[in-house]
Amino acid sequence: MTATAANQAEFAELVAARRDLHAHPELGFQEHRTASLVAERLRALGYDVKTGVGRTGVVGVLRGTGPAGGRAGRTVLLRADMDALPVQETNEVAYRSTAPGVMHACGHDAHVAIGLAVARRLAAARNAWAGTVKLAFQPAEETGEGAEAMIADGVLDAPTVDAAFGLHVISNLPIGSISATSGAIMGSVDNFTIRIRGKGGHAAMPQDAVDPVLAAAHVTTALQSLVSRTADPFDHLVVSVTRIQTGTTDNVIPEHAELGGTVRTMGGRLYAEVPRRLAALVNGVAGGLGCTAEVDYVRQTPAVVNDEAMTALVARVAGDVVGTTNVNTGARMLGGEDFSLFLQRVPGCFAWVGSGNTARGYDAPHHSPRFDIDESAMPVGVDLLERVAREYLR
C-alpha cells in the first residue's frame, strides 16, 4: 500500500469507527458496548488488555521491541474518554444517535476512534520504538468521575506511568489547528448548594415572616462581588448561580429557598480561598436578613495544568503535523476536564485539536443537540498522539 492509500484506508476506518460509536452513545459508567468494542480491537492488535478499570474503563498496554535508548524504560499514558451526554440529538445525519436522549455531543466518539487508530499505528510500528505505551479508554468524563475511578483502580501503576497525554476535538478552533498551552488551561470545577431558611407566613403580612426569597435574591447578587471584589482583575474566577428553587404560590412567603451553582478558577489562591469567602458571604447576607443558611460546597475536579516541558514537546510535534503557524500556544477556557487528575500526579499535556468548520456547518457548541465535528480532525489527532508518544519515549 502506498502512503496515500494507507492514509485513505485509515481515514475510512476512523470515520466508520466514529460513526458507529456516534450512533450508539452510552452515558458515564454505562459504556459497556463501547468498552467491549475497544477491548476486542486492542486484543486483536496484540495489546495486553484489562477491562473494568474504573468500572467500565479499558486499558491496553504494549511494549515496543525497537532498539532501546533514551527514555526506553519509561511508560507513557494516552487517554481517550468514551462517554456521551444526556442530550437528544437533532442532527439529521445517517449516523445520528439511536439511543433516545443520549448523544455524543462532546466528541468523545472521535476520541475513541482516534485512540484505536493510534493503537493500530503503534502496534504496526512496534519494532521501531522502545518503551511502554498504556492506552487508557476512560469512562464518565462528563460527570468528572471516570479519571478518579481509573486512578483508584491503578491505571497509573504497574507499569508506573511517567507522563500522560490527551486531546479533545474542539469546535471553536478551526480544522487544521492544534492548541497546546503551558500552565493552567482549564478551570477547576466546584459546585455548591445553598439552603436558606426563613419563616413562612402571609405575603401581605411580611412583618410576621422572615422572607427567604428576598435573602436568596440578595445572596445571588452578592455572590458576584466575589468575582469583582475578591479576585485580582488579572486572575480568573467565575461564580454562576444556576438555579433558585423556592415558593409554591403568590400569597405565601415560603419557609426556605435553595440555590445552586458552580465556581471555576484556574487554581492557586482563589481555588484555596473561595469556599471560605463564599460561605462567609452567604451567612452574612442571609443572617443580615434574619435567615439562616447552610452551604454545601463540593470540589469536583481541579484545574487542568499542563507541564511546561511536556507542552513544549506537544507544541513541537503539533508544528510538524499542522505547520507552526497553525499551532496555538495561548488558548485557555474555564470549562472543566478530569484529565486534570492525571496531570496532578504525572507531568503531561492536554491538547485541543480544531474540529470546527463554519463553511461546512460544523460550528455548533459542545454539548448542543446540533454538535458535530469535521471528521478530518481525526487524522490530525492520530498523528499528534502517535508522534507525541514516540517522541516522548525516544
Shortest Cβ 23–Zn ion spacing (Å): 18
State the DSSP code for 80.
E
Please, which residue, 106 or 343, has the CB nearer to Zn ion?
106
d(CA 271, CA 300): 12
Task: Report, in Å, the least distance between residue 35 CB and Zn ion.
Answer: 17
Neighbours of 202 (CB within 10 A): 12
Give, in order, the Cα–Cα distances in Å from 164 to each of 110, 111, 130: 19, 15, 17
Cβ atoms 186, 334 nearer than 8 A? yes
Minimum distance between the CB of residue 27 and Zn ion, rounded to whole angstroms?
12
Task: Tell me how far, at minimum, the Cβ of 336 lies from Zn ion, in Å.
Answer: 9
Contacts with Zn ion in 80-119 (CB under 5 A)?
Answer: 106
> Taking the complex as a whole, how short is the minimal distance between the CB of residue 170 and Zn ion, in angstroms?
9
- Give least dist CB 101 to Zn ion, A: 16
Hey, which bits of 139-182 come out as E strands? 163-174, 178-179
Q: 230 in helix, strand or coil?
A: helix
| Residue 103 DSSP label | B
3-state secondary structure of 29: coil
* Closest of 111, 116, 98 to residue 24, by C-alpha: 98
- When the beta carbons of 106 and 270 are compared against Zn ion, the nearer one is 106
Per DSSP, what are the bridge partners of residue 93? none
Q: Select 24 or 108, whichever has its Cβ closest to Zn ion.
A: 108
Residues in binding contact with Zn ion, number by CB under 5 A:
1
Q: Which residue has the cell 436578613?
A: 289
Between 106 and 118, name the residue whose CB sits nearer to Zn ion: 106
Residues 366, 368, 372, 377, Cα dihedral to 10°: 0
Nearer of residues 106 and 150 to Zn ion, judged by Cβ: 106
Instruction: Answer yes or no whether residue 304 interacts with Zn ion by CB under 5 A.
Output: no
Cβ proximity to Zn ion, 132 vs 171, nearer residue: 171
Residues contributing to the site for Zn ion (CB under 5 A):
106
